[in-house]
Structure 1
Amino acid sequence: MSENTCTVGIDLGGTNVVFGLVTARGELLQHFSRPTEGERGPARVIENILEGTEEIISHAEAYRVNGIGLGSPGVIDSGSGVVLHCAPNIPQWSGQQIRQPLLERFGLPVFVDNDAKMAVIGEATFGAGAGKKHLLVVTLGTGIGGGVVLNGRIHRGAYFCAGEIGHAVVQIGGRRCACGVEGHLEAYLSAKGLVGQVKEKLAGGGTSVLTGQTGGDLSRLEAKMIVDAAKAGDKLAGEVLELSAHYLGMALANFAMVFDPEIMIISGGIALAGEILFDPVQRAYDRYIFYTEVRKAPIVPAKLGFEAGMVGAAAMAILELKLS
């Protein structure tokens, strides 16, 4: 890519779609978001993506746009551009063709993949994993996503499910995940998992400052409130966060022995918790990993923050265009 070119990065979420223009050096030229409007159906979502893409391209000014990257929730066939399966955060999104509409409207190369995998590519290219060839990224949000980079390329697997660490089993007969299976990591350390555990403990007679902070209305409870309460010394919140972080460290040890990464990166809103999250993660990882050399792979917070998915989508387009 020449110095005066850029790519479009699109991060599709259940609530908003984020659009950006990124240069080959990783410079973010412009970005904005607009509502997804998933409740209005897939056709409306596609139209919002097309309208937003047209608008962001209009901001390119002296730069020539030479490709588009789109990250979407769900299991994505990156070759055909079809959403093979998607959780209900975007209704009726499963089965949608998301590559072809962009290709037809703009006539530019279009690259699509799972949104968490795009965040992985962003961190690997311009974030905490820059310069590394083998890395694992875990995204802690409403759910838990992730991905693996091997030899500098995203590893998708035979059925596009590689790196789904949120669905690693960490507790036999444990809490039920949103996918319906018991004991998955996502049932514990996702935002929903943390909130669910606290509600269960309070319903069982536990006490916490969170009851007062929510005015007794636990529908107002959020993951950040739990993290803040744990930092302030609340015993119930602290126990929930420590157990959940322990399970992440266990899962990372398992994945590290399979993929042998140089670095493991934790991203997403919950990752902003800092030491109260990372310390128990590291202790559990050290406990379960068996080979001394693997312990040298650091577990670090992400650098790109909430823009990782959008920047990663643009980075995928940049990388694929270089290879073509």
Structure 2
Amino acid sequence: MRIVAADIGGTNTKIGICDEQGHIGQFKEYATESHKGGPHVVSRLLEQLAMYDDDFDAIAISTAGQVDAEAGRIVYANENIPSYTGMQLKETIEARFQKPVKVENDVNAAALGEAAFGAARSFRDFLCLTFGTGIGGAIVINRQIYRGANGVAAEFGHIFTRPLAGMSGGARSSRYESHASTTALIRMAREADPECVDGKVFFDKIGKGNVELQQILHDWAAEVSLGLASLIHVFNPAAIIVGGGVMEQERLVRLVAEETKAIVMPSFADVSIVKASLGNKAGLLGAASLFLR
């Protein structure tokens, strides 16, 4: 089976043809131009899909935003893609290409990709978290996505890890992603060293022995672990797969694992905390797996 898969992100969109072994051919990446709004994003996607010949069986879409997977509709998207909320992706693409279409949220798709082809292949029950601008999440139970009553479960970035009282930003400042996202890490680093404009500069300086930045990394890892420990106590997963550019650092994943296992109950401490292995192809492969499972 040959599936054209696309992964729509706020900055770039990736697209390629996936087969049943997880190989990706005719891969390309283009600027999403999300600031131009949802209708433009979808119009560009249709143009790119039309560049593939008709020798494929289905189309699979991984996308930012909350997704009604059954209807293939965007339930909610934040300001990163204006006017994206409510867009009928499945209906629009099927009408254009006369091929079956499935649509999935990007973190759910990444979790399915890791389950089918990556770091979660040996786990039936696991959580997946991606650390970036915010924190995305997915819950996999018996190798199926758990969606919740409204289909939008696993907004892990919005759990509360700080008390509301005394937080200057109110509820938003008390959320997990306000303190444990990559955005939060770089904010903390820039307060100490204005040259730390991104993760690359930050980790380069740590590699050169900057003690103050090393402490900031440990403090941030403790924030990450605080949220993970709560999720472990609720879900009792066999594993947590952590992804996002910052988690490409093996030593950071080890640090987070150590910090987390030090604070969970002993009966939960056998959980595996594992780095995602598929990188920026996880969403494509996970979307394709919707047709292959």
> TM-score if structure 1 supplies the norm length?
0.83
Instruction: State the 1:180 CA deviation.
Output: 6.2
**What is the SS of the residue equivalent to 1:247?**
helix
- Pick from 140, 147, 157 the counterpart of residue 149 of structure 1: 140
Q: Does 1:11 align with 2:46?
A: no
Instruction: State the 1:112 CA deviation.
Output: 1.0
Aligned partners of 1:140 and 1:270 also within 8 Å: yes
Aligned partners of 1:137 and 1:147 also within 8 Å: yes
Partners of 2:220 and 2:120 in 1: CA distance: 24
Distance 1:240 1:160, change over 3 A: farther
Instruction: State the 1:20 CA deviation.
Output: 1.5
Deviations along 1:45-74, whole A, 9 cap, x unmatched?
11111122222x32x7xxx52222111111
Aligned partners of 1:247 and 1:284 also within 8 Å: no
Q: Does 1:256 align with 2:256?
A: no
Aligned partners of 1:141 and 1:191 also within 8 Å: yes
Q: Which amino acid aligns with 1:36?
A: T
Runs of 4 or more consecutive aligned structure 1 residues displaced over 6 Å after TM superposition: 174-177
Deviations along 1:267-297, whole A, 9 cap, x unmatched?
110001221x2233123311222143x3222
- Which position in structure 2 is the counterpart of 1:278? 253
What is the aligned length?
292
Partners of 1:44 and 1:23 in 2: CA distance: 29
> TM-score if structure 2 supplies the norm length?
0.91
Q: Which amino acid aligns with 1:286?
A: K
Partners of 1:43 and 1:311 in 2: CA distance: 25
**What is the SS of the residue equivalent to 2:89?**
coil
Distance 1:112 1:187, change over 3 A: same
Partners of 1:192 and 1:267 in 2: CA distance: 14
- Which position in structure 1 is the counterpart of 2:121? 130
Q: Does 1:100 align with 2:100?
A: no
Q: Does 1:91 align with 2:82?
A: yes
Sequence identity percentage: 29
Instruction: State the 1:139 CA deviation.
Output: 0.9
Deviations along 1:2-38, whole A, 9 cap, x unmatched?
xxx2112110011111101111121222311122122
- Pick from 75, 90, 102 the counterpart of residue 66 of structure 2: 75
Partners of 2:237 and 2:56 in 1: CA distance: 34
Partners of 1:51 and 1:145 in 2: CA distance: 28
Instruction: State the 1:246 CA deviation.
Output: 1.3
Partners of 2:291 and 2:202 in 1: CA distance: 38
Partners of 1:144 and 1:138 in 2: CA distance: 7
Partners of 1:176 and 1:99 in 2: CA distance: 42
**What is the SS of the residue equivalent to 2:269?**
helix
Aligned partners of 2:39 and 2:83 also within 8 Å: no
- Pick from 15, 30, 50 the counterpart of residue 34 of structure 1: 30
Q: Which amino acid aligns with 2:59?
A: I
Q: Which runs of 5+ in 1 are unaligned?
A: 203-209, 320-324
**What is the SS of the residue equivalent to 1:197?**
helix
Moved more, 281-290 or 107-116: 281-290
Alignment of 1:107-126 (within 5 A): 107-126=98-117
Distance 1:193 1:130, change over 3 A: same
Partners of 1:169 and 1:233 in 2: CA distance: 33
Deviations along 1:73-130, whole A, 9 cap, x unmatched?
1111112222121121112212222211111111122111211111111111110001
- Which position in structure 1 is the counterpart of 2:180? 189
Aligned partners of 1:175 and 1:184 also within 8 Å: no
**What is the SS of the residue equivalent to 1:99?**
helix
Partners of 1:261 and 1:249 in 2: CA distance: 15
Distance 1:66 1:131, change over 3 A: farther
Q: Which amino acid aligns with 2:214?
A: G
Partners of 1:42 and 1:259 in 2: CA distance: 35
Partners of 2:292 and 2:204 in 1: CA distance: 39
Partners of 1:119 and 1:285 in 2: CA distance: 23
Moved more, 251-260 or 132-141: 251-260
Partners of 2:86 and 2:34 in 1: CA distance: 15
Q: Which runs of 5+ in 2 are unaligned?
A: none
Partners of 1:185 and 1:166 in 2: CA distance: 5
Deviations along 1:157-193, whole A, 9 cap, x unmatched?
112332222222222248788x961222212232321
Q: Which amino acid aligns with 1:314?
A: A
Alignment of 1:302-313 (within 5 A): 302-313=276-287
Cα-Cα RMSD: 2.2
